[in-house]
């Protein structure tokens, strides 16, 4: 655990597939950081969470958003677009975590200012490793903006 970590890191996971959510939770558990995972199953709810609307009035501001592209109703790309055009939300780093290897999805995500794109590996242990690296990267390597 990082010495500088006084509060747990808040992560918003936007993923509609229950099994993938479970898998990702397990992966986070192995990271060795104090993490609080918030889960929403679609894009509209993610925006409500971030804007603290409706049921999410007490929601904390996440340090990191993990976004799947394949979401019902509102696509991940569309959520990304909204996030990165909202002044109050655009500074939260967004990691796109998707099974899609397609060039056009990768390019589109970066064009909409995703902070990075991770292709979900097929192998579970590799996946766990990647999640660990990702968490380490964002929470002990990079500097994050402080919330005013």
Partner 1 sequence: MDNPDLIWGILDSMADAVFLLDAERRILALNEAAARRLGRPVNELVGACLCDVCPPESRALRKDKLEQVFAEGKLVHFDDQQAGKWLSHSLYPICDAAGKVEQVLVSARDITERKQVEADLRKLNVEQQFIFDSVPAMIWYKDIHNRFLKVNKAVTRSMGMPAEAIEGKTAYELFPDEAEHYFSDDQEVIATGQPKLGIIEQVKVLATGEKRWVQTDKIPCRDEAGRVTGLLVFVMDITAIKQAEEMIKQSAEEISRANKELEQFVTIASHDIQEPLRVISNFLQLLEKRCQDQLDEKGKDYIRRAVNAAQRMQALINDLLAYSQVTRGESKELGPCRLEAVLKNAVGYLQVAIEKSRAIITHDPLPVIEGDEMQWVRVFLNMISNALKFCDKAYPVIHISAADLGQEWQLSFRDNGVGIAPEHIKLLFAVFMRLHPRNQYPGTGIGLAICKKIVERHGGSIRVESEPGKGSTFIIVVPKRKRGQP
Query: Which residues contact partner 1 (rule: CB under 8 A)?
Result: 17, 19, 23, 26, 99, 122-125, 127
Which region holds residue 68: left if phi is over 0, alpha if psi is between -120 and 50, else beta? beta
Nearer of residues 127 and 139 to partner 1, judged by Cβ: 127
Nearer of residues 54 and 72 to partner 1, judged by Cβ: 72
Nearer of residues 26 and 53 to partner 1, judged by Cβ: 26
Q: From the CB of 78, what's the least distance to partner 1, in Å?
A: 19
Q: From the CB of 138, what's the least distance to partner 1, in Å?
A: 23
Q: From the CB of 120, what's the least distance to partner 1, in Å?
A: 8
Nearer of residues 26 and 91 to partner 1, judged by Cβ: 26
Q: From the CB of 131, what's the least distance to partner 1, in Å?
A: 13
């Amino acid at each position: 655990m990082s010495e500088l970590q006084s509060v747990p890191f808040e992560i918003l996971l936007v993923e509609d597939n229950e099994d993938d959510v479970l898998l990702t939770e397990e992966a986070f558990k192995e990271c060795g950081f104090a993490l609080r995972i918030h889960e929403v199953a679609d894009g509209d709810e993610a925006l409500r969470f971030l804007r603290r609307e409706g049921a999410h009035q007490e929601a904390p501001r996440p340090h990191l958003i993990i976004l799947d592209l394949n979401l019902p109703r509102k696509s991940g790309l569309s959520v990304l677009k909204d996030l990165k055009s909202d002044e109050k939300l655009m500074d939260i780093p967004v990691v796109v975590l998707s099974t899609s290897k397609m060039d056009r999805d990768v390019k589109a995500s970066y064009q909409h200012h995703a902070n990075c794109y991770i292709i979900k590996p097929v192998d579970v242990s590799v996946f766990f490793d990647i999640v660990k690296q990702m968490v380490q990267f964002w929470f002990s390597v990079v500097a994050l903006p402080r919330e005013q």
